[in-house]
């Protein structure tokens, strides 16, 4: 096109391309800053007209509403900040359990996709197709309203062996009730952790020195379990007694009652994310070429050794990056709790926003928190990538 | 092959950029203003630099002018409460709150259909009103001090006197809050209801667990499945929802009132004329019922009536409409096109509807209620 | 490029042998087969019993128009049909032109015709006429594309590009005074129509924005790069719902006093900004996969930076990531459901209002099952067509 003409005019500037770039960047920065300034100016003006100013001091105000599920002290007279923390902990709780369960289900699905059994393989493939073409929000709503709320009512609770109560108020599970020796037992567990860490470090350095990596993970776990079991029986009385749920009055009492909102959110997220994790696992397993396995067997490794020392480390290198992003997705998707009534961080913040009218502050707070999750995760990713690369070369 | 693809993508990008340029009209003007700011005509920099205190707190007469210029009213409404504001299978809005907006449109335009309904959520309703996205908020909103001041709105009049109640299955035999000790209560968030519930139980020193939902439908779905022992919202909402449960007679509304809930339309701060119009349309509806004027007989009454009060109301006498900035037959239009208060009530909440609510407080002061319209003088 | 490759020879098995080899070869394999079979039987039985016996589908039938079109005025529904008819013509034409090389294009065409015919059978009056007309247009377009081939290719490409704006203009109308196309406010757009509109607008706008951001992230200019990185990481770090809330609750505050943006438009902006960040990362992946030699070769030919990027690098990079981009578009389609939480009347939002109708209270299963099915069918169709397209275009092959 007009490239000739372009070159003619461009020649005088050609030598100071750096200045040109600098100018271009300055203009870009100016435009961005200008827009940011206008937007913020508008907001400040708008807020002034409403007679409010920005600030986080309102978080010290009394919340005034109740929250259904809380893991720290909370009542209607607590502050907004405490309410937010309750939501944050709920988000972390559902995410952590969700990540654990969806990994387990995802690995099963990934392996099933590679199964020799046609029926199993087909079932896993059908499951994947079903899940990944569904909208998660619709799935969650359906799951809550059409499955968990259709469980029997409290009065007609279905009781499974072990006093597991199945109702649409939640599932009652037997749960450990701390006795007076529980505090001592906590210390024993702590000691177990320390012992396990020492074992891990020692074994790891042995592996480094000799070039024959021992089963570090296994021995670490065993050490901890041994301390825990010995401690349990060494104490004069068992630190925990089993508490069984039962129907008392209007609701279930005793044991641990898991609400249907939590269950619906958790299982919905797990079922959805597991389909994607299954694909990640399958891709990782398939990425290890057959030649690697054959070579490992040829140099005399056993089947288990091949898996542990050859297939697994290589597959993990492929699996971990997409897997972490799936974990992050699950955490972010937990904000859909609002649709099933589970008080996660976003839902509680929404309530605070409604009651206090502080839209800007609350949305900023929520976004910053999610952003922190994401940054921590990507920091971990970078660390992991560097580490695996070092191992490779 | 890739060349073709490339041309497709290239054209897509060009088209999208063009679209972006057309769609985001304000962007280019903002873009050019830093360069052209000091030399160019005020038209470019103008819209950014315009002094702030213009809209949002609406200036006198501004809203009516804007509505008239637009040719229709924009009414923030609910779409999930049968009898007050919801969407029927034909896609039409109906309900008491919705009919009020129709009446307002009739007063302004002489056309009850010159109104556009925007469903707004509980969370965004006040922002929508403040930012001028809607002209009036008629969405079962409770009149409170905070909303009347800090949230930048003015409540015009109460169209429905309500109180927060509690509904439970009759088989449970509850009679008071104390019976609900240890139970679960379903409640909708983003409302005064949630706070009232917490307050009432805290005041009575009773423990309970709330089950909180984002919208009314989920709340009542959960209740009817037995997720909660009771459900709480405004009594009108309880009645209308009870009427459409599987077996209405199996649920009772307890004789407990957690709060006063006067519901009514709300306008922005600052435009007194618009406030007056919105307020007097409510009064016209009430007065018409008091005088026995209905949409059926309004023409006849207008022709034959001799009562000066009624004559002023219907525009036969005086200049009441002009004082509001409207036609003189504004109230006539309201009654002829939307009916009087009683008609609107019966149409949406009357005995023949599935959402029947006895009139109770929402009756004329002459019939044992507290509806009372100031004189049309 | 690849010739038709014969599949490797496989041994022929009798059904019994096949079943033994694949299902019952070892004891645990047999156990798995029985378990999986029982699971399939149990799930299918439950679902079929419910769908055919218990479910009250009347709620969907009565509200079908509401679910598909929202409160779009009945008198103006012809506009939607006209837009769809144009789409049918384009689809038929494209299948005719490019289908010759693609296996399965014939299947897609026939499937489409069967679907339209089936819909025409179950509907009545106007919809039936329109559907038959659309089937005719698919056929006509297919025939023209097949016989004219290259000659109409440019026209069809241009058609695809102008279709979205034409469709939106058709729906929105010209002006309120116009007799032919009076304005239909966006508050009346709803149901599946709104869901699809949000998707189309999201795709059309987020794609160029995403490419620009990807280029920005790879730029040598630090400020541009930092800005792109900050934008991408910020958006990718937060859930879509927070961005939608920001658009609905905070955007009005950011605008100059008296200026309003329609709330449907605000949702579109939010979805576009969100999706662009993800697309940018996908495109960046493609850019990184292009070997350095390509840049060097381009410069050696005397192209400048812009030309090298625009003519050599970007086309190859985009071609590499088409499957991922389509995946992202499908995700966008599914994510539009979130606008129901901020009160828009999309498919899910309208589903909620349908459930508030007194006569249909408590039929959540039916309504949400129907909505899930719509999402599923449309996502699956998108994925299927794109897979076919990838195979026929040889995407991902070298």
3 state DSSP class of B73: strand
Write out residues 259-278 of C within 8 Å (CB-CB) of B. 259-260, 263
State the count of interchain CB pairs (< 8 A) between B and C.
146
Task: Give the confidence band of A330 by pLDDT, cuts at 50, 70, 90.
Answer: very high
Task: List chain B residues with pLDDT less than 70.
Answer: 1-59, 190
Shortest Cα distance, chain C CAs vs residue B330, angstroms? 24
Interface test with A, best of C192, C223, C260, C261 (most A CBs within 10 A): C223
Give yes or no: residues B153 and B235 share one domain: no
Shortest Cα distance, chain B CAs vs residue C220, angstroms? 23
Interface test with C, best of B9, B59, B128 (most C CBs within 10 A): B9
Give yes or no: residues C265 and C234 share one domain: yes
Residue after which a domain boundary falls, among B262, B286, B309: B262
Averaged pLDDT, A97-118: 91
What's the pLDDT at A56? 84
- Taking an 8 Å cut-off on Cβ atoms, the answer to whether B212 and A249 are in contact is no
Task: Give the confidence band of C209 by pLDDT, cuts at 50, 70, 90.
Answer: very high
> How many domains does chain B fold into?
2
Confidence check: pLDDT of A186 > 90: no
- Taking an 8 Å cut-off on Cβ atoms, the answer to whether A42 and C257 are in contact is yes
Give yes or no: residues C141 and C235 share one domain: no
Q: What residues of A are in contact with residue C242 (Cβ under 8 Å)?
A: 335, 346, 363, 366-367, 370
Architecture of the CATH domain A80-174+244-392: Orthogonal Bundle (1.10)
What's the pLDDT at A162? 77
Identify which of C239, C367, C246 has the alpha carbon closest to the alpha carbon of residue A138.
C367
Give yes or no: residues B109 and B246 share one domain: no
CA distance C191 to C64: 10
Q: What secondary structure letter does DSSP report for B364?
A: B
Q: Is residue B14 part of a domain?
A: no
- Taking an 8 Å cut-off on Cβ atoms, the answer to whether B86 and C257 are in contact is no
Give yes or no: residues C171 and C320 share one domain: no
Q: What residues of B are in contact with residue C187 (Cβ under 8 Å)?
A: 116-119
Shortest Cα distance, chain A CAs vs residue C23, angstroms? 5
E-assigned strands of chain B? 73-77, 80-81, 85-87, 93-94, 115-119, 136-137, 153-155, 160-169, 184-188, 209-213, 230-234, 251-253, 259-263, 266-268
CA distance C392 to C98: 8
- Taking an 8 Å cut-off on Cβ atoms, the answer to whether A66 and B198 are in contact is yes
CA distance C238 to B278: 42
- Taking an 8 Å cut-off on Cβ atoms, the answer to whether A117 and C29 are in contact is yes
Q: Does C337 touch chain A (CB under 8 A)?
A: yes
Averaged pLDDT, C352-379: 85
- Which of A106-120, B289-303, C244-258, C374-388 has the weakest average pLDDT? C244-258
CB atoms within 10 A of CB B236: 25
Picking from C66, C249, C394, the nearest residue to B91 by CB comes out as C66
- Taking an 8 Å cut-off on Cβ atoms, the answer to whether A65 and B194 are in contact is yes
- Taking an 8 Å cut-off on Cβ atoms, the answer to whether C158 and B7 are in contact is no
Write out residues 343-372 of C within 8 Å (CB-CB) of A. 348, 364-365, 368-369, 371-372
Residue A171 has phi, psi (to 5 degrees) of -110, 125
Shortest Cα distance, chain A CAs vs residue C364, angstroms? 7
What's the pLDDT at B166? 93
Shortest Cα distance, chain B CAs vs residue A105, angstroms? 29
What's the pLDDT at A54? 77
What's the pLDDT at A49? 66
- Taking an 8 Å cut-off on Cβ atoms, the answer to whether B12 and C208 are in contact is yes
What's the pLDDT at B241? 81
Task: Give the confidence band of C9 by pLDDT, cuts at 50, 70, 90.
Answer: low
Q: Is residue C18 part of a domain?
A: no
| Residue range B308-332, pLDDT digits in tens | 889 999 988 888 898 899 999 999 9
Picking from B5, B82, B121, the nearest residue to C319 by CB comes out as B5
Q: What residues of C are in contact with residue B131 (Cβ under 8 Å)?
A: 252-253, 255, 260
Give yes or no: residues B151 and B278 share one domain: yes
- Taking an 8 Å cut-off on Cβ atoms, the answer to whether C22 and A49 are in contact is no
Q: Which residue in B has a C-alpha nearest to residue A348's C-alpha?
A: B189
Give yes or no: residues C161 and C202 share one domain: no
Q: Is residue C395 part of a domain?
A: no
Q: Is residue C212 part of a domain?
A: yes
3 state DSSP class of C301: coil
Task: Give the confidence band of A335 by pLDDT, cuts at 50, 70, 90.
Answer: very high
Task: Give the confidence band of A368 by pLDDT, cuts at 50, 70, 90.
Answer: very high
Give yes or no: residues C113 and C246 share one domain: no
Neighbouring residues of B249: CB distance < 8 A, sequence distance ≥ 6: B170
Shortest Cα distance, chain B CAs vs residue C111, angstroms? 25
Residue after which a domain boundary falls, among B242, B262, B282: B262
- Taking an 8 Å cut-off on Cβ atoms, the answer to whether B91 and C316 are in contact is no
- Taking an 8 Å cut-off on Cβ atoms, the answer to whether A336 and C338 are in contact is yes
Q: Is residue C384 part of a domain?
A: no
Picking from A66, A154, A350, the nearest residue to B123 by CB comes out as A350
Give yes or no: residues C301 and C219 share one domain: yes
Shortest Cα distance, chain A CAs vs residue C95, angstroms? 24
| Residue spans of alpha helices (H) in chain C | 15-23, 27-49, 58-62, 64-69, 77-98, 105-122, 125-148, 150-172, 191-217, 222-237, 240-245, 251-254, 263-289, 292-300, 305-307, 314-335, 347-355, 364-393
Give yes or no: residues B155 and B67 share one domain: yes
Task: Give the confidence band of C316 by pLDDT, cuts at 50, 70, 90.
Answer: confident
Give yes or no: residues B144 and B199 share one domain: no
Interaxial angle between packed helices C191-217 and B2-23, expressed in degrees from 0 to 180 and rounded to the nearest 10: 110
What's the pLDDT at B2? 43
C319, HSE (Cβ side, Cα atoms, 13 Å): 23
Picking from A149, A250, A341, the nearest residue to B183 by CB comes out as A250
What's the pLDDT at C226? 92
Q: Which residue in B has a C-alpha nearest to residue C364's C-alpha?
A: B221
Confidence check: pLDDT of C202 > 50: yes
- State the ipTM, two decimals: 0.84
- Taking an 8 Å cut-off on Cβ atoms, the answer to whether B133 and C252 are in contact is yes
Q: Does A133 touch chain C (CB under 8 A)?
A: yes
Q: What residues of A are in contact with residue C271 (Cβ under 8 Å)?
A: none
Q: Which two tokens stand for residue A163?
A: 């006093």
CA distance C384 to B83: 45
| Residue range A241-281, pLDDT digits in tens | 888 888 877 777 777 888 999 999 999 999 999 999 999 99
**CATH code of the domain in which B244 resides:** 3.40.190.10
- Global pTM? 0.81
Share of chain A above pLDDT 70, in %: 93
Task: Give the confidence band of C100 by pLDDT, cuts at 50, 70, 90.
Answer: low
A293 vs C7, higher pLDDT: A293
Which residue range forms the structural domain that includes residue C177? 73-184
Give yes or no: residues B123 and B178 share one domain: no
Q: Which residue in B has a C-alpha nearest to residue C161's C-alpha?
A: B12
Q: Does C160 touch chain B (CB under 8 A)?
A: yes
Q: Is residue C44 part of a domain?
A: no
Give yes or no: residues B230 and B271 share one domain: no
What's the pLDDT at B11? 46
Give yes or no: residues C236 and C329 share one domain: yes
Give yes or no: residues B148 and B80 share one domain: yes
3 state DSSP class of B185: strand
What's the pLDDT at A277? 95
Q: Is residue B119 part of a domain?
A: yes
DSSP code string of A169-232:
TEEEE-EEEE-TTHHHHHHHHHHHHHHHHHHHHHHHHHHHHHS----HHHHHHHHHHHHHHHHH
Picking from C62, C352, C359, the nearest residue to B217 by CB comes out as C352
Give yes or no: residues C161 and C288 share one domain: no
What's the pLDDT at C205? 92
Q: What secondary structure letter does DSSP report for C10?
A: -
Which residue range forms the structural domain that includes residue B319? 62-159+264-356
Picking from C205, C255, C393, the nearest residue to B16 by CB comes out as C205
Task: Give the confidence band of A87 by pLDDT, cuts at 50, 70, 90.
Answer: very high
Give yes or no: residues C170 and C212 share one domain: no
What's the pLDDT at B41? 33
Residues A334, A338, A343, A348: is their CA dihedral positive or negative?
Answer: positive
Residue after which a domain boundary falls, among C184, C219, C238: C184
Give yes or no: residues C219 and C201 share one domain: yes
What's the pLDDT at A311? 85
Contact between B101 and B117 under an 8 Å Cβ cutoff? The reply is: yes
Residue after which a domain boundary falls, among B210, B229, B262: B262
C368-389 per-residue burial string, b: 16 or more CB within 10 A, e: under 16:
bbbbbebbbebbbbbbebbebb
What's the pLDDT at B37? 32
- Taking an 8 Å cut-off on Cβ atoms, the answer to whether B214 and A339 are in contact is yes
| Residue range A141-151, pLDDT digits in tens | 988 988 888 88
Q: Does A108 touch chain C (CB under 8 A)?
A: no
- Taking an 8 Å cut-off on Cβ atoms, the answer to whether C372 and A134 are in contact is yes
Q: Which residue in A has a C-alpha nearest to residue C337's C-alpha?
A: A137
Domain ranges of chain A: 80-174+244-392
Q: Which long-range contacts (CB under 8 A, 24 or more apart) does A333-336 make?
A: A333/A136, A333/A269, A333/A272, A333/A273, A333/C239, A334/A91, A334/A94, A334/A95, A334/A98, A334/A265, A334/A269, A335/A91, A335/A370, A335/C239, A335/C241, A335/C242, A336/A136, A336/A137, A336/A140, A336/A265, A336/C241, A336/C338
| Residue range C317-334, pLDDT digits in tens | 888 888 888 889 999 999
State the count of interchain CB pairs (< 8 A) between A and B.
113
- Taking an 8 Å cut-off on Cβ atoms, the answer to whether C353 and B7 are in contact is no
Residue after which a domain boundary falls, among C152, C184, C216: C184
- Taking an 8 Å cut-off on Cβ atoms, the answer to whether A138 and C337 are in contact is yes
Q: What residues of A are in contact with residue C23 (Cβ under 8 Å)?
A: 117-119
Task: Give the confidence band of A57 by pLDDT, cuts at 50, 70, 90.
Answer: confident
Shortest Cα distance, chain C CAs vs residue B56, angstroms? 6
Q: What residues of B are in contact with residue A64 (Cβ under 8 Å)?
A: 195, 198-199
Residue after which a domain boundary falls, among C149, C165, C184: C184
Residue with tokens 């309003």: C260
Picking from B6, B86, B131, the nearest residue to C315 by CB comes out as B6
| Residue range A269-321, pLDDT digits in tens | 999 999 999 999 999 988 888 888 889 989 988 878 888 888 888 888 888 88
Q: Is residue C355 part of a domain?
A: yes
What's the pLDDT at B36? 33
């Amino acid at each position: 096109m007009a490239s000739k003409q372009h070159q003619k005019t461009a020649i005088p500037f050609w030598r100071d391309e750096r200045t040109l770039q600098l100018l271009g960047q300055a203009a870009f920065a100016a435009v961005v800053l200008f827009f940011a300034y206008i937007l913020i100016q508008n907001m400040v003006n708008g807020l002034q007209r409403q007679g409010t100013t920005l600030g986080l001091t309102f978080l010290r105000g009394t919340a005034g509403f109740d929250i259904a599920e809380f893991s720290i002290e909370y009542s209607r007279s607590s502050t907004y900040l405490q309410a937010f923390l309750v939501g944050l902990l709920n988000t972390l709780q559902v995410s952590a359990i969700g990540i654990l369960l969806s990994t387990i289900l995802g690995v099963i699905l990934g392996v099933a996709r590679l199964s020799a059994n046609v029926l199993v393989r087909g079932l896993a493939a059908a499951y994947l197709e079903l899940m990944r073409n569904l909208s998660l929000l619709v799935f969650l709503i359906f799951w809550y309203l059409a499955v968990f709320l259709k469980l029997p009512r409290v009065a007609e609770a279905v009781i499974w062996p072990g006093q597991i109560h199945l109702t649409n108020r939640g599932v009652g599970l037997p749960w450990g009730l701390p006795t007076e020796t529980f505090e001592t037992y906590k210390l024993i567990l702590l000691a177990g952790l320390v012992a396990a860490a020492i074992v891990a470090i020692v074994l790891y350095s042995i592996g480094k020195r000799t070039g024959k990596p021992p089963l570090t993970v296994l021995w670490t776990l065993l050490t901890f379990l041994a301390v825990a079991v010995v401690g349990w029986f060494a104490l004069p009385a068992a630190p925990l007694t089993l508490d069984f749920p039962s129907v008392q009055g209007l609701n279930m009492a005793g044991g641990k009652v898991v609400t249907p909102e939590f269950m619906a959110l958790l299982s919905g997220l797990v079922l959805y994310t597991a389909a994607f994790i299954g694909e990640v696992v399958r891709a990782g397993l398939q990425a290890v070429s057959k030649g690697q396995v054959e070579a490992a067997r040829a140099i005399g490794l056993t089947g288990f050794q091949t898996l542990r020392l050859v297939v697994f480390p290589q597959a993990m290198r492929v699996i971990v990056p997409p897997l972490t992003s799936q974990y992050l997705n699950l955490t972010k998707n937990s904000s859909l709790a609002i649709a099933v009534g589970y008080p996660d961080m976003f839902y509680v913040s929404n309530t605070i926003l409604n009651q206090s009218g502080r839209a800007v502050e609350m949305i900023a707070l929520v976004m910053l928190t999610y952003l922190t999750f994401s940054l921590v995760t990507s920091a971990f990713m970078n660390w992991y990538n560097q580490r695996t690369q070092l191992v490779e070369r | 092959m890739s060349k073709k693809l490339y041309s497709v993508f290239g054209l897509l990008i060009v088209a999208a950029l063009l679209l972006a340029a057309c769609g985001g009209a304000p962007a280019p003007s903002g873009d050019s203003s830093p360069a052209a700011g000091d030399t160019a005509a005020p038209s470019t920099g103008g819209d950014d630099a315009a002094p702030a205190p213009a809209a949002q707190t609406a200036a006198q007469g501004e809203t009516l002018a804007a509505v008239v210029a637009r040719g229709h009213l924009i009414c923030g409404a609910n779409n999930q409460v049968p009898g007050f504001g919801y969407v029927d299978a034909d896609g039409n809005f109906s309900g008491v709150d919705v009919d009020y907006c129709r009446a307002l449109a009739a007063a302004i335009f002489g056309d009850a259909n010159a109104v556009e309904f925007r469903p707004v959520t509980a969370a965004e309703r006040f922002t929508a009103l403040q930012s001028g996205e809607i002209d009036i908020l008629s969405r079962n909103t409770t009149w409170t001090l905070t909303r009347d001041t800090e949230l930048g709105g003015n409540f015009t009049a109460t169209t429905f006197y309500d109180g927060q109640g509690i509904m439970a299955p009759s088989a449970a035999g509850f009679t008071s809050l104390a019976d609900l000790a240890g139970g679960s209560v379903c409640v909708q968030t983003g409302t005064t209801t949630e706070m009232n519930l917490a307050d009432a139980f805290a005041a009575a020193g009773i423990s309970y667990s709330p089950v909180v939902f984002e919208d009314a439908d989920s709340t009542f779905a959960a209740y009817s499945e037995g997720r909660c022992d009771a459900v709480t919202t405004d009594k009108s909402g309880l009645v209308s929802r009870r009427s459409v449960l599987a077996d209405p007679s199996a649920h009772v509304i307890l004789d407990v009132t957690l709060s006063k809930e006067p519901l009514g339309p709300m306008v922005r701060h600052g435009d007194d004329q618009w406030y007056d119009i919105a307020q007097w349309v409510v009064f016209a509806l009430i007065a018409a019922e008091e005088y026995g004027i209905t949409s059926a007989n309004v023409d006849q009454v207008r022709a034959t009536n001799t009562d000066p009060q009624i004559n002023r109301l219907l525009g036969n006498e005086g200049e009441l409409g002009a004082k509001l900035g409207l036609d003189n037959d504004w109230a006539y239009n309201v009654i002829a096109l939307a009916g009087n208060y009683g008609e609107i009530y019966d149409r949406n909440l009357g005995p023949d509807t599935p959402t029947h609510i006895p009139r109770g407080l929402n009756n004329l002061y002459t019939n044992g209620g507290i509806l009372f319209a100031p004189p049309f003088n | 490029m690849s010739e038709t490759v014969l599949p490797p020879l496989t041994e022929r098995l009798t059904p019994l042998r096949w079943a033994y080899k694949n299902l019952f070869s070892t004891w645990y394999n047999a156990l798995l087969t029985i378990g999986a079979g029982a699971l399939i039987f149990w799930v299918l039985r439950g679902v079929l019993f419910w769908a055919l016996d218990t479910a009250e589908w009347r709620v969907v039938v009565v509200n079908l128009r509401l679910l598909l079109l929202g409160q779009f005025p009945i008198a103006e529904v012809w506009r939607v049909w006209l837009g769809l008819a144009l789409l049918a013509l384009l689809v038929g034409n494209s299948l005719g032109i490019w289908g010759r090389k693609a296996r399965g294009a014939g299947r897609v065409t026939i499937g489409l015709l069967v679907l339209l015919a089936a819909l025409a059978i179950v509907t009545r009056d106007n919809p039936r006429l329109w559907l038959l007309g659309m089937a005719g247009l698919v056929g006509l377009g297919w025939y023209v594309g097949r016989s004219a081939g290259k000659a109409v290719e440019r026209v069809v490409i241009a058609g695809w590009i102008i279709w979205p704006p034409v469709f939106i203009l058709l729906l929105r109308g010209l002006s309120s005074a116009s007799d032919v196309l009076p304005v239909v406010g966006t508050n009346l757009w709803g149901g599946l129509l709104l869901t699809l509109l949000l998707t189309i607008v999201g795709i059309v706008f987020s794609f160029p924005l995403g490419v620009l951001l990807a280029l920005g992230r790879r730029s040598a200019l630090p400020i541009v790069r930092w800005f792109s990185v900050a934008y991408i990481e910020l958006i990718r770090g937060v859930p879509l719902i927070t961005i939608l809330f920001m658009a609905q609750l905070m955007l009005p505050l950011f605008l100059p006093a008296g200026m309003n943006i329609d709330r449907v438009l605000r949702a579109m902006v939010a979805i576009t900004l969100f999706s662009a960040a993800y697309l940018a990362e996908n495109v960046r992946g493609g850019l990184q996969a292009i070997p350095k030699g390509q840049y060097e070769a381009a410069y050696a030919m005397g192209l400048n930076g812009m030309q090298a990027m625009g003519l050599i690098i970007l086309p190859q990079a985009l071609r590499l990531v088409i499957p991922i981009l389509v995946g992202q578009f499908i995700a966008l389609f599914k994510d539009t459901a979130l606008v129901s939480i901020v009160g828009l009347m999309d498919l899910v939002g309208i589903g909620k209002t349908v459930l508030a109708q007194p006569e249909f209270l408590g039929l959540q299963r039916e309504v949400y099952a129907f909505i899930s099915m719509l999402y599923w069918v449309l996502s699956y169709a998108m994925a299927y067509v794109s897979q076919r397209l990838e195979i026929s275009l040889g995407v991902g092959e070298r």
